[in-house]
Amino acid sequence: MLSYRHAFHAGNHADVLKHYLLTRLLAHLNQKDKPYWYIDTHAGAGCYQLDQGYAAKNAEYAGGIGRLWQRQDLPAGLADYVAQVKALNPDGQPRLYPGSPLVALEHLRADDKLRLFELHPTDFPLLEANLAGAGRQAKLVKGDGFAGLKALLPPPPRRALTLIDPPYEQKDDYARVVASLEDALKRFATGVYAVWYPLLQRAESRQLPRELKQLPAKSWLHASLTVHRPRDDGFGMHGSGLFILNPPWLLHDELATTLPWLRDALALDAGASFVLEQQAA
């Protein structure tokens, strides 16, 4: 099945959490001069139009990046993320939203590399077009990112951030996330791995963080954000989470301030909440 199109959801509350945290992880890697690789197993189209096409149908961005657009009290790390999105929109209106590949490209230095996978036959050409400016710094593969990850680890510079962000439209995506990370940690135990997942009323979604905590990583950080109480009919996504293996040790303290702020800024009802937990090395 390849029915999922992220364009419908671009810039929503889940993208805010995911891409804010991605900017913080990249900023941490940039603190050292040694180059690194950014690996994205499910890269999507790379950039999305908010004012027309798929994203405009449900306008999910209005409840995500749209709520942060005019705020003057953004916490520092969150302000950096919003500034990057605004840089794509010089007329001051939210018309374009960067996917994770463009978020990463903005942070990469001359010797850092992008390795991007996308299987969808429509999104891959869009990804190629949106990453055309990256030149030799980026290698794009039309294929399965779960399978492709194995061949990249360990990366030559022995530093890497891997984002695993499948659509979860098939139940076995959850099992493949865990299996991929088990294999990745054997090949490259010191890499930074970030897994995005949806908060849904289904067993696989609730179980995934528990399974990730059992992986043999020295440290982990788990952050999730709920923007409304689950629907009575059991359908729909009420929030999302990011589970990070081998995170920077100061990230927890930053999130202790930012997550309560985000909960209040993006809340749709009294069911809004967040989770922040970690296992330190």
pLDDT in tens, 128-176: 999 998 999 999 999 999 999 999 999 999 999 999 999 998 889 999 9
**Residue 205 in domain:** yes
CATH number at residue 17: 3.40.50.150
The number of folded domains in the chain is 1
CA distances to 20, 83, 266, 273 from 71, in Å: 15, 11, 12, 20
In this prediction, residues 170-190 reach a mean pLDDT of: 96
Q: Could you tell me the two tokens for 202?
A: 């289904």
Residue 3 in this model has a pLDDT that exceeds 50: no
Sheet containing strand 273-279, edge to edge, reads 138-141, 113-117, 37-40, 160-164, 192-199, 239-245, 220-226, 273-279
CA 42 to chain centre: 10
Q: 56: pLDDT confidence band, cut at 50, 70 and 90?
A: low
In this prediction, residues 26-37 reach a mean pLDDT of: 98
**Residue 1 in domain:** no
**Residue 114 in domain:** yes
pLDDT digit string, tens, across residues 256-270? 999 999 999 999 999
**Which domain does 191 fall in, by range?**
6-279
Residue 189 in this model has a pLDDT that exceeds 90: yes
The DSSP line for 89-136 is: -TTSS--EEE-HHHHHHHH--TT-EEEEE---TTHHHHHHHHTGGGGG
Reported pTM: 0.96
CA-derived radius of gyration, the chain: 17
**Residue 104 in domain:** yes
Residues annotated catalytic, as ranges: 165
**Residue 215 in domain:** yes
Q: Could you tell me the two tokens for 118?
A: 């996308």
